[in-house]
């Protein structure tokens, strides 16, 4: 590790919070530490976020808060069946109801051409996008949209949707990957044939894709191993669980332009997908991203926007649709349930000799389960010569799966990290030491091809070893400690940013990245750093698709990295312009003017950024600059957890006693919001580990589509979540930023499972580790005399 500067978090209570679990021992360390390696003036500080006042007073405008004059309200009729043929749709009764203005079905969509469409984080067939927006011919999951209504108010719209008569012929359904892969399983898409190793086949199947990556010779590796461990793991379908339901208002104006206001992680994705679905030019659509109430990947897909647009076109009025919570749970989101087998061999010296995995992920109703990143990440933390990974993308009768924070990686780590734990136990090695001996490092080749550049796997593992938590006594029966490590590769994609310098010296920053968790500020801080002004002198704003250059989704942990890079470059252009303005004032060449921290100087003259801004009119007019970025230097992020649990053997309840999240973030631009990402990702991982699951009935319907029964963690379920920010600068970014949003959700389920194993000796191979599941496992183990 490089210099360890402990930089305690601000705010009262740090270091003094009593343990709520009764031990009452004061903490002997800072709960939030930053192992900083590079220091800047603005980057790395903790200013109040620019949009904060609006969000603590209720003024911030989220999509559902917008009601335009003359708005109609929409409701969507959804399939009650998991899998059914649509025999007929009769809308006349609904249309005849007072207050009802229009109904749309799949027949109102133009026919889908056979082409691919970019849906934010990759391509998919346009026909699948169409099919998910409004079902045609068949419904593929309970909640699948069949028709929609626009009416005078939302209550009338709901009643009218219920009055649409649909005749269904129910079909057999498959709810898990193994069921859908079984011989004789009912096919979801009769024309879907498996792509085998990248080549189309002619066998209709629910397996959309099967591929394999390999390195070296795994058979030889297993021959070299003295310990070989293999196990199969299953994880339940879970939802991103954002608190704000999806919403949209669309106005198809009489000039032919379509204006959409919505809650989305990617305004340009909404624009582009809606344009393809409705077959209109992209420039005819303007998307205004409203404030977004959480996304986590689940607000990248387009669900409501084309439907509201069609209703608006039919009625000539704005149409607003807000999903119910049941709609959100049954028709959007979830991440893939998974079925993963991992086999790992090690020699007696603790060197991993072979790693083999088979991952089958549930894509939901349409192909695209994020099994690809699952395969990329399954062994990403290890340097091993012999690796083989097989991936299966399997369609099942659940909602079409969406990205969820490091999509695909937590399921994979849940398997790998438990098998690694078993090997450490068998070899009698400290589990962190085993990981360190086999850590991925610069030059290690990942199974999917790339060689790592500079990464922080070692530094993260050493920070775990050095952390006071790792050596603290557990202090009680049925308590255990687990560790796990996870990886997310992060993405770059494309961003745009414009800066306008005001006469008062403040700078308006215009960008297109939806701000889900404080990125306005982390982007503004990077511009401020370059300009040598305070974070508060930059006034950032997220604007509509007409008002800023193309910007990809807020996803892949890319926003602070890539949009921040665009802001950095735009600020560099402003600095260049300011040098030439100062040169003009002094009659010198721009190259002779030096810039340092917002002060421009030459030959004993100096002038501040603020004064140059005030003089803009006299030195050549307004000062603005735009930059776009498509950065290539993406730096992946490693994350690790130390977790202590207590298992109640009478009830099976697992309590989290203490949790420490460690992550290499490259450079924490705003450490408070970086900690927030680490804490939030950790707690989503805790929910995934212990409580959350879709209970599907024998009829294929979700049994727990409320937030009472889909049980996300509450404040009462948790201790404080301690963080340790590790900074191994990314050489591919001006400030060393890697991206922080996702890697933190990867290790928690595995770390908790390892802690449960440590506490009560049972190996939990299925998520969630809910009280009944843990109780059954503990009871079985004690019955068999373990």
Partner 1 sequence: MSSIHVQTTINGDAAEFLCEPRQSLLEALRDILRLTGTKEGCNDGNCGACTVEMDGRIVPACLVLGAEAEGAEILTVEGIARGGALDAVQRAFLEGAALQCGVCTPGFIVAAKALLDLNADPTEAEIRLWLANNLCRCTGYDKIVRSVQAAAANRREEAAT
- Distance in Å from the first CA to the final CA of the chain: 42
The interface with partner 1 within residues 642-671 (CB under 8 A) comprises 670
| Residue 775 CB, nearest approach to partner 1 (Å) | 23
If you write DSSP's letter for every residue of 224-251 in order, what string do you get?
Answer: T-SEEEEEEEEE--B----SSPPEEEEE
Contact between 621 and partner 1 by CB under 8 A: the answer reads no
Contact between 289 and partner 1 by CB under 8 A: the answer reads no
| Residue 11 CB, nearest approach to partner 1 (Å) | 4
Contact between 220 and partner 1 by CB under 8 A: the answer reads no
Contact 686, 694 (CB under 8 A): no
Residue 698 or residue 716: which is nearer to partner 1 going by CB?
716
Contact 342, 356 (CB under 8 A): yes
Instruction: Show the 3-state SS of 419-487.
Output: HHHHHHHHHCCCHHHHHHHCECCCCCECCCCCECCCCCHHHHHHHHHHCHHHHCCCCCCCEEEEEEEEE
Residue 734 or residue 768: which is nearer to partner 1 going by CB?
768
Residue 19 or residue 601: which is nearer to partner 1 going by CB?
19
HSE (side-chain half, CA atoms, 13 Å) at 45: 15
The interface with partner 1 within residues 314-343 (CB under 8 A) comprises 322, 324-325
| Residue 178 CB, nearest approach to partner 1 (Å) | 30
| Residue 696 CB, nearest approach to partner 1 (Å) | 20
Residue 376 or residue 721: which is nearer to partner 1 going by CB?
721
Interface residue with partner 1, options 2, 3, 25, 67 (CB under 8 A): 67
Interface region with partner 1, contact rule CB under 8 A, candidates 169-177, 285-293, 377-385, 528-536: 285-293
Interface residue with partner 1, options 374, 517, 636, 749 (CB under 8 A): 517
Residue 497 or residue 721: which is nearer to partner 1 going by CB?
721
| Residue 194 CB, nearest approach to partner 1 (Å) | 36
Contact 418, 754 (CB under 8 A): yes
Question: Does the bond joining 87 to the residue before it have cis omega, within 30 degrees of 0?
Answer: no
CA 293 to chain centre: 14
Angle between helices 564-586 and 519-531 (to 10 degrees): 30
Interface residue with partner 1, options 85, 155, 597, 618 (CB under 8 A): 155
| Residue 245 CB, nearest approach to partner 1 (Å) | 7
Q: Which residue has the tokens 């997310």?
A: 488
CA 403 to chain centre: 6
Residue 51 or residue 664: which is nearer to partner 1 going by CB?
51
CA-to-CA distance for 767 and 749, rounded, in angstroms? 8
Angle between helices 748-760 and 671-690 (to 10 degrees): 50
Contact between 56 and partner 1 by CB under 8 A: the answer reads yes
Contact between 707 and partner 1 by CB under 8 A: the answer reads yes
Contact between 68 and partner 1 by CB under 8 A: the answer reads no
Contact between 98 and partner 1 by CB under 8 A: the answer reads no
Contact between 60 and partner 1 by CB under 8 A: the answer reads yes
- 152 φ/ψ sector (left φ>0, alpha ψ -120 to 50, else beta): alpha
The interface with partner 1 within residues 239-268 (CB under 8 A) comprises 240-245
Residues 6 or more apart whose CB falls under 8 angstroms from that of 12 comprise none
| Residue 520 CB, nearest approach to partner 1 (Å) | 12
Contact between 29 and partner 1 by CB under 8 A: the answer reads no
Phi, psi of 530 (to 5 degrees): -70, -40
Phi, psi of 354 (to 5 degrees): -155, 140
Contact between 13 and partner 1 by CB under 8 A: the answer reads yes
H-assigned helices in 212-355: 218-223, 267-278, 305-315, 325-331
The interface with partner 1 within residues 708-727 (CB under 8 A) comprises 708, 712-716, 718, 720-721
Interface region with partner 1, contact rule CB under 8 A, candidates 17-25, 115-123, 278-286, 357-365: 17-25
The interface with partner 1 within residues 677-706 (CB under 8 A) comprises 677, 679-684, 706
Q: How many CB atoms lie within 10 A of CB 452?
A: 19
Residue 520 or residue 738: which is nearer to partner 1 going by CB?
520
Contact between 59 and partner 1 by CB under 8 A: the answer reads yes
Contact between 10 and partner 1 by CB under 8 A: the answer reads yes
Angle CA 488–494–495, to nearest 5: 110
**What is the binding site for partner 1 (CB under 8 A)?**
10-14, 17-18, 20, 46, 48-49, 51-53, 55-62, 64-65, 67, 155, 240-245, 291-296, 322, 324-325, 516-518, 670, 672-673, 675-677, 679-684, 706-708, 712-716, 718, 720-721
């Amino acid at each position: 590790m490089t210099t360890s500067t402990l930089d305690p978090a601000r705010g009262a209570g740090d270091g003094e919070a009593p343990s709520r679990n009764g031990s009452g021992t004061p903490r002997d360390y800072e709960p939030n530490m930053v192992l900083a390696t590079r220091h800047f003036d603005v980057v790395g500080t903790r200013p109040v976020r620019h949009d904060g006042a609006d969000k603590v007073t209720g003024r911030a405008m989220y999509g559902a808060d917008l009601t335009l004059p003359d708005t109609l309200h929409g409701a969507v009729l959804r399939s009650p069946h998991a899998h059914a043929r649509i025999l007929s749709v009769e809308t006349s009764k609904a249309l005849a109801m007072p207050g009802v203005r229009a109904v749309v079905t799949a027949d109102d969509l133009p026919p889908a051409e056979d082409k691919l469409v970019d849906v934010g984080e990759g391509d998919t067939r346009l026909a699948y996008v169409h099919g998910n927006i409004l079902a045609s011919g068949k419904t593929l999951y309970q909640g699948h949209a069949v028709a929609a209504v626009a009416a005078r108010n939302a209550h009338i719209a709901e009643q009218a949707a219920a009055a649409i008569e649909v005749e269904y012929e129910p079909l057999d359904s498959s709810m898990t990957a193994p069921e859908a892969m079984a011989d004789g399983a009912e096919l979801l898409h009769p024309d879907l044939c498996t792509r085998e190793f990248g080549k189309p086949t002619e066998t209709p199947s629910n397996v959309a894709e099967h591929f394999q990556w390999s390195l070296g010779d795994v058979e030889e590796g297993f021959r070299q191993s003295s310990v070989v461990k293999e196990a199969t793991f299953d994880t339940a379908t879970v939802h991103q669980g954002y608190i704000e339901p999806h919403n949209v208002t669309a106005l198809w104006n009489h000039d032919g332009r379509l204006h959409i206001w919505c809650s989305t992680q990617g305004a340009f994705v909404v624009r582009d997908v809606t344009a393809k679905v409705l077959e209109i030019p992209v420039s005819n659509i303007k998307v205004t991203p409203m404030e977004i109430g959480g996304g986590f990947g689940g607000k990248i897909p387009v669900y409501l926007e084309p439907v509201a647009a069609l209703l608006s076109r039919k009625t000539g009025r704005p149409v607003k649709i807000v999903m119910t919570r049941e709609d959100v749970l049954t028709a959007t989101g979830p991440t893939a349930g998974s079925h993963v087998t991992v086999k790992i061999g090690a020699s007696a010296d603790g060197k991993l000799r072979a790693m083999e995995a088979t991952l089958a992920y549930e894509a939901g109703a349409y192909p695209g389960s994020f099994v690809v990143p699952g395969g990329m990440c399954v062994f990403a933390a290890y340097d091993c010569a012999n690796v083989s990974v097989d991936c299966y993308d399997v369609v099942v009768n659940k909602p079409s799966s969406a990205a969820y924070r490091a999509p695909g990686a937590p399921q994979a780590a849940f398997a790998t990290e438990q098998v690694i734990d078993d090997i450490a136990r068998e070899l009698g090695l400290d589990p962190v030491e085993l990981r360190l001996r086999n850590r991925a490092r610069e030059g290690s080749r990942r199974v999917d091809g790339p060689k790592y550049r500079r990464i922080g796997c070692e530094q993260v593992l050493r920070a775990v070893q050095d952390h006071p938590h790792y050596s603290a006594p557990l202090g009680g029966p049925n308590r255990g400690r687990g560790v796990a490590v996870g990886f997310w590769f992060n993405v770059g994609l494309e961003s745009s940013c414009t800066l306008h310098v005001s006469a008062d010296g403040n700078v308006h920053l215009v960008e297109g990245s939806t701000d889900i968790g404080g990125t306005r500020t982390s982007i503004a801080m990077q511009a401020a750093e370059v300009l040598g002004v305070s974070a508060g002198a930059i006034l950032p704003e997220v604007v509509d698709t007409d008002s800023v250059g193309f910007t990809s989704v807020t996803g892949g942990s890319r926003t602070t990295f890539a949009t921040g890079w665009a802001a950095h470059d735009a600020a560099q252009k402003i600095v260049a312009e300011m040098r030439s303005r100062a040169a003009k004032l002094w009659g010198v060449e721009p190259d002779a003017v030096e810039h340092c921290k917002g002060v421009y100087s030459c030959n004993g003259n100096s002038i501040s950024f603020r004064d140059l801004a005030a003089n803009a009119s006299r030195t050549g007019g307004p000062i603005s600059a735009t930059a776009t970025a498509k950065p290539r230097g993406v730096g992946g992020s490693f994350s690790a957890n130390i977790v202590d649990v207590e298992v109640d053997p009478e009830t099976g309840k697992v309590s989290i006693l203490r949790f420490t999240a460690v992550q290499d973030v490259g450079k924490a631009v705003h450490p408070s919001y970086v900690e927030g990402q680490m804490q939030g990702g950790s707690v989503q991982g805790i929910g995934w580990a212990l409580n959350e699951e879709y209970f599907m009935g024998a009829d294929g319907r979700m049994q727990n589509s409320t937030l009472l029964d889909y049980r996300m963690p509450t404040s009462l379920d948790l201790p404080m979540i301690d963080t340790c920010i590790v900074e191994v600068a990314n050489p591919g970014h001006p400030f060393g930023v890697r991206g922080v949003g996702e890697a933190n959700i990867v290790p928690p389920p595995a770390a908790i499972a390892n802690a449960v194993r440590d506490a009560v000796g049972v190996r939990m191979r299925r998520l969630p580790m809910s009280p009944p599941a843990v109780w059954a496992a503990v009871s079985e183990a004690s019955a068999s005399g373990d």
